[in-house]
Structure 1
């Protein structure tokens, strides 16, 4: 069973990805909260998909990296750009879901003025 915390985190992930790609859900591009929810399912042993936590984490990080590259093409202030690069480096180097979540939350805040 998924916790409210898991849904909140997956919702934040999906919102950033939708904002970055300026589109709706697209499972093949990683623009879907279920990718993030799968991470918790793997962690607590309830996943029906046979993949490792590390592989799922890397998959999410790859999707986020593509989203960040899209955002970096926008007309950003120097401060926004530096914060996005900071969060991108945190995402790239982390192996922990909590750090990933904090970075996604930071990306949401930095890109708030682009909210549609």
Structure 2
């Protein structure tokens, strides 16, 4: 980016020098003016570029920070869902075991009744 700014300023300075030769006059004055214009415009444009990059980086950092927060929240939510699924699985297994014991107990009590009769 900086090299492009310097190239643009160099082209503008060369055009200024060529224009000054076409108008006539002392070329040294125009050359010094071109160097001053090149230097000042380079400094101004590089300063603007610096602040633009600084602002963009700050915005990108904010976006990354927000994305990380969203990911963290999603991860925490996923952990809660997984824990809830595990709890439900355990409850389902307990219910199945309970039903199996009840069936077993009923069949044993029915067999005992049949044996008594």
Determine if the TM-score, normalized by the shorter chain, exceeds 0.5.
Answer: no
TM-score by length of 1: 0.30
Structure number with bigger Rg: 2
Q: Which has the higher contact order (CA 8 A, sep 6+)?
A: 1
Q: Which has the higher helix share?
A: 2
TM-score by length of 2: 0.30
